[in-house]
Structure 1
Amino acid sequence: MFGAALAQVAAALRPARDPWWVIGSAAVRLHGAETSVADIDVLTSARDAERLLADWPGVATICGASDRFRSHPFARLDGAALPVEVMGDLELCTANGWQPVRPLTRVAHGDVFIPDRDELRAILRAFGREKDRARAALLDLPDARLIDG
């Protein structure tokens, strides 16, 4: 299911005009760590997220912001092998106010893109939730390596 979901994400984002990334547990797994993946988190620009929602063949549910994260839009897409959560222009609330989450690195893994290991680790730690800290710790393991999904 994981590989099929990634292929569906890649196909849906083929017309994207801006860089996009898979983040979260799916990206950790693509870096070789053993972790479960309940959904595919995708970080895009707002315009590509809006286009993706308009073109998605399944059900798209717009979700609300939290006190820690907001995106324009944030939506859950059903109809892929795994649910997809798309975040357009994601922002993280920090001590310095709302800050954009925009990776600088972009590693191709087949037809999908992920931040490099160090940047993904930093993003997960910045998110600050226990599950994200645990995922970041998986990237510290020396035997985690880039693998085919």
Structure 2
Amino acid sequence: MIRAGTPAARALADVAAAMRDARHDWWIIGSAAVALLGGDTPLADIDLLIDPRDGHALLARLKVAPLAPDRDARFRSATFARWTGSWMPVEIMADLYVGHDGGWQRVAPTTRQPVPVGGETVYVPERWEMIALLHRFGRPKDLQRARLLVMRP
């Protein structure tokens, strides 16, 4: 759960403001999405999934340089950057893939639920889709977050 006035709420409002000029859909995923959907989970950062066609413009607006491709055996993204100019770090990803069942699957939510935060609106996958996505991620912390969403109506 994200309370008004907290660093997470302020950072999410900053993300929404930064994404106002986006031409394509975008989502908050990961722990911040779980918190926005009512799960009580700690946040170290905010994961922002964007369309690659909005990537260059967003990074230029935020004055953020893309980082070298992540060598994580579980995740890959064509664009990866970390924005530290807000109240908490924001990890920006485009063309995100997760290693699952021996191959790579693109992370492309099909649902988009608006959530008001600090006078702005951010978007998360619907609860059922976020649960499925967390199961695909498969790490112990993701499975715990999925349980939080299953337990909460």
TM-score (norm 1): 0.89
Aligned to 1:53: 59
What is the distance in 2 between the residues matched to 1:16 and 1:32?
26
- Tell me how many residue pairs correspond in the alignment: 142
1:11 pairs with 2:21: no
Cα pair distance change 1:62/1:53, threshold 3 Å: same
Aligned to 1:95: 101
Q: How does 1:1-149 map to 2 (within 5 A)?
A: 1-57=7-63, 59-60=64-65, 62-65=67-70, 66-95=72-101, 97-110=103-116, 111-143=121-153
**Partner amino acid, structure 2, of 1:112:** V
RMSD after superposition: 1.4
What is the distance in 1 between the residues matched to 2:97 and 2:68?
15
What is the distance in 2 between the residues matched to 1:134 and 1:29?
13
What is the distance in 2 between the residues matched to 1:13 and 1:101?
19
- Pairwise CA distance, 1:68: 1.4
- Pairwise CA distance, 1:60: 4.4
Q: Percent identity?
A: 49
Unaligned runs of 5+ in 2: 1-6
Runs of 4+ in 1 over 4 A off after TM superposition: none
Aligned to 2:3: none
What is the distance in 2 between the residues matched to 1:87 and 1:124?
16
- Pairwise CA distance, 1:47: 2.1
- Pairwise CA distance, 1:61: 5.5
What is the distance in 1 between the residues matched to 2:32 and 2:20?
19
Unaligned runs of 5+ in 1: 144-149
TM-score (norm 2): 0.87
Q: Is the 8 A contact 1:5 1:81 kept in 2?
A: yes
What is the distance in 2 between the residues matched to 1:42 and 1:104?
15
- Pairwise CA distance, 1:46: 1.2
**Partner amino acid, structure 1, of 2:109:** P
TM-superposition CA deviations, 1:81-139 (whole Å, max 9, x none): 01000110111122352211000100000210000000000001100111111111100
Aligned to 1:146: none
